[in-house]
Structure 1
Amino acid sequence: MIVLTNGTREWRALVETKVGNAQIVPQQVERYRTIAKDNKVDCVITISNQFASLPENHPSEDIRKSKSRIPVFHWSWMFILTQADLLLTNDLLDDPEQHLLLKELKRFLLHESAGVKGFEVPLDL
């Protein structure tokens, strides 16, 4: 779970992650939506190697077409790795602890055991 606090306002999200070739399972995400609703959590975030053009455009059609009022946002690991790289390369972090944590996240994501994959176009296109 991610919790962000800004003054008296709190924003909360449940996070589901998959690595390698593992796919996001729509039924599992629907269970998370129910848990989020029951616990006043604002949204569900999914992260996997699947790509989405925008976080609101989930790669799973079943998740996109759900009638649930709890939104689901999706990011690919490669997008997160790219954002981390941009923040680190352009020295956009003032907090040394955030810099260290992001550097370690990048190191983890770059290791082959993390299973992060880039966008692959089939050769027969």
Structure 2
Amino acid sequence: MGIHRRTRLNVVDNSALGKEADTTGKLPYCIHVYKQGRRAKHMPHAELGDKILVAIRGQMRKAYVVGANTHVHYRKHGVPVTDQNMIVLLDEEGNPLGNRITAPIPTKLMANRTNVQFSKVLALANKFI
């Protein structure tokens, strides 16, 4: 249905931590989804643009979901589906760790420009689908 706990993810920015995880073959995985509301808190599933907490190389980092592989029954009209779950890593202040995003980003995420941290992530992208 979506990204939940223990889901493996791919880092699509050019941060050193993401490159190290990719070369060693130990992909980061989700350990918490930040959502509001009773049902969303107890049964969280992350979608495009949601903030999650990931475990990567023995560290805990926050990240934004910028691409999600969803089952054919749960796909939404107008939202592009990727073949992998993609994230952009954040530092403690909420700024992106890398300075470039290597994968295309869905244009649906442009609606999240009002969020200051997410607008910084969108500024790093050079391809939109």
**Structure 2 length-normalised TM:** 0.25
State which structure, 1 or 2, has the greater radius of gyration over its C-alpha atoms: 1
More helix by share: 1
